[in-house]
């Protein structure tokens, strides 16, 4: 770094409370194995909110997710990192727990060159800073559908009818990618706000977005049902199973916790999701596959960049951004989201470098 600051602003999450504070800049941390990123934009993910509430199981191998969706510039790269000062990068939070939160003016990531190559990923689109979208959640969607094709031995989704539960960021990106892979999509969302958002932003057509209540009118209809709400509860999995045709496959993507099962007491859906397996089950006389996907890899980011660059009309990821705030307003906003007092469709972004 040309001039190392004495202090920097960073958020902390402690005992369910998010605070922003000025902390000493850890000058000792600038070693050969360190990359320092100055975020331009950070996205708020539902997983961040869950960590505030304490309703998410944190995996030891990758650590907490709080503040993991970001696009920023490398402002310091240690000699052994393989990165360069000035590189525009994003994070893959699935690789190492030795990183600090993205809800900050600086993010510190430590690791070997091999680890950092997977964890700190260059963004090939310079224009992303003016037309912002979040590579990490899209890479997870790319990963999940590629894994689904692999587990089901399908070359594509051509001609398939895909039902999606949840029109949050995940559900809308699943709709984009499933359509790209040849499927017809129907997205079912509980509340009106996200349905209106999907229509008004022209992410989904009138025929593609439905109330979750309407799922009852679509029983036995879908070749695949993607379960992408905040939590893959038993109720929602029951709805997904009812929507599925005989021999259809469910893709469990929304949150699960240790011990969750579906059909109740039969299949360990938390393990299926985290270990990315497919298992068969018979439920109400119907033969179903139950599959899962979890996280993403560098290749999924690269495929995400390729899809966005080559097919911008099919992947209007920028339209997911619904609101932009500054870092100062972040603690109150996420605490409001945690209590349920505030809710926004699409993606809320925090502009940091963009504010300077
Ligand atoms: N498997 C993976 O690798 C992976 C990666 C990233 C995220 N995820 C999961 O994906 C989930 C969704 O992420 P997101 O970014 O789409 O979140 P989001 O934008 O906050 O959307 C949340 C969605 O869940 C719905 N929902 C919440 N509670 C519900 C309920 N009780 N019944 C029916 N619908 C309900 C919401 O519907 P309303 O509009 O009605 O509130 C909304 O559609 C996350 O919570 C996380 O668990 C998984």
Using the atom order of ligand 1, give the atom closest to the CA of residue 56.
47
**Is residue 13 within 8 Å of 51, Cβ to Cβ?**
yes
Q: Is position 210 within any domain?
A: yes
Read off the pLDDT of each residue in 322-346 and give the average, rounded to a whole number: 97
DSSP state of 287: E
Tell me the CA–centroid distance for residue 111 and ligand 1, in Å: 31
Q: How high is the pLDDT of residue 295? A: 94
Q: Is position 45 within any domain?
A: yes
Identify the domain containing residue 91 by its residue range. Answer: 7-123+316-355
Q: How high is the pLDDT of residue 41? A: 96
Q: Whose CA is nearest to atom 2 of ligand 1?
A: 294
Residue 85 has pLDDT above 80, yes or no: yes
Pocket residues: Cβ below 6 A from ligand 1: 45-47, 140, 166-171, 189-191, 193-194, 212, 228-230, 236, 253-255, 293-295
Using the atom order of ligand 1, give the atom closest to the CA of residue 193.
39
Tell me the CA–centroid distance for residue 114 and ligand 1, in Å: 32
Q: Whose CA is nearest to atom 32 of ligand 1?
A: 190
Q: Give every strand in the sheet of 209-211, ordered side by side.
A: 209-211, 184-189, 161-165, 222-227, 244-252, 286-292, 278-283
Output 227 or 5, whichever has higher pLDDT: 227
Tell me the CA–centroid distance for residue 151 and ligand 1, in Å: 23
Q: Is position 300 within any domain?
A: no
**Is residue 244 within 8 Å of 288, Cβ to Cβ?**
yes
**Is residue 293 within 8 Å of 269, Cβ to Cβ?**
no
Structural domain tally of the chain? 2
- pLDDT band for 2, please (50, 70, 90 cuts): low
- Cα(236)–Cα(256) distance, integer angstroms: 12
Tell me the CA–centroid distance for residue 31 and ligand 1, in Å: 38
Residues 100 and 16 in one domain: yes
Q: Is position 155 within any domain?
A: yes
Q: Is position 47 within any domain?
A: yes
Q: How many CA atoms lie within 13 A of 332 on its CB side?
A: 4
What digits encode the pLDDT tens for the residues 86-125? Answer: 999 999 999 988 899 999 999 999 999 999 999 999 999 9
Using the atom order of ligand 1, give the atom closest to the CA of residue 347.
19
Residues 238 and 335 in one domain: no
Q: Is position 310 within any domain?
A: no
Residues 85 and 150 in one domain: no
What is the CATH classification number for the domain harbouring 186?
3.40.50.720
Q: Is position 322 within any domain?
A: yes
What digits encode the pLDDT tens for the residues 14-59? Answer: 999 999 999 999 988 899 999 999 999 999 999 999 999 988 877 7
Residue 356 has pLDDT above 70, yes or no: no
Residues 148 and 287 in one domain: yes
Give the chain's mean pLDDT: 95
Q: Is position 306 within any domain?
A: no
């Amino acid at each position: 770094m040309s001039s190392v600051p004495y202090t920097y602003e960073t958020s902390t999450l402690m005992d369910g409370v998010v605070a922003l504070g000025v902390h000493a800049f850890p000058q000792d941390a600038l070693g050969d194995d360190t990359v320092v990123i100055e975020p331009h934009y950070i996205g708020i993910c539902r997983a961040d909110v869950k960590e505030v509430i304490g309703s998410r199981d944190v995996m030891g191998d990758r650590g907490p997710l709080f503040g993991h969706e970001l696009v920023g510039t490398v402002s310091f790269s240690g000699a052994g990192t393989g990165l360069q000062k000035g590189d525009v990068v994003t994070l893959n939070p699935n690789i190492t727990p030795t990183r600090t939160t993205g809800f900050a003016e600086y993010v510190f990531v430590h690791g070997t060159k091999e680890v950092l190559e997977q964890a700190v990923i260059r963004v090939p689109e310079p224009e992303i800073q003016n037309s912002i979208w979040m590579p990490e959640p899209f890479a997870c969607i790319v990963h999940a559908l590629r894994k689904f094709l692999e587990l089901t031995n399908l070359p594509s989704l051509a001609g398939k009818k895909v039902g999606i539960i949840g029109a949050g960021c995940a559900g809308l990106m699943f709709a984009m990618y499933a359509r790209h892979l040849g499927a017809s999509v129907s997205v079912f969302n509980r509340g009106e706000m996200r349905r209106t958002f999907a229509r008004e932003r022209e992410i989904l057509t009138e025929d593609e977005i439905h109330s979750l209540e309407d799922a009852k009118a679509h029983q036995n209809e879908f070749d695949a049902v993607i379960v992408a709400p905040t939590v893959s509860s038993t109720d929602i999995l029951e709805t997904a199973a009812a929507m599925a045709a005989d021999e259809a496959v469910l893709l469990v993507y929304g949150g699960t916790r240790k011990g969750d099962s579906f059909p109740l007491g039969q299949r360990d859906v938390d393990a299926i999701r985290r270990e990315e397996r497919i298992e068969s089950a018979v439920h109400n006389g119907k033969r179903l596959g139950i599959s899962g996907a979890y996280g993403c890899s560098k290749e999924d980011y690269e495929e995400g960049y390729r899809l966005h660059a080559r097919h911008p009309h099919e992947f209007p990821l920028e339209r997911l951004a619904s609101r932009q705030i500054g870092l100062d307003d972040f603690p109150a906003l996420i605490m409001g989201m945690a209590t349920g007092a505030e809710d926004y469709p699409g993606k809320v972004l925090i502009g940091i470098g963009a504010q300077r």
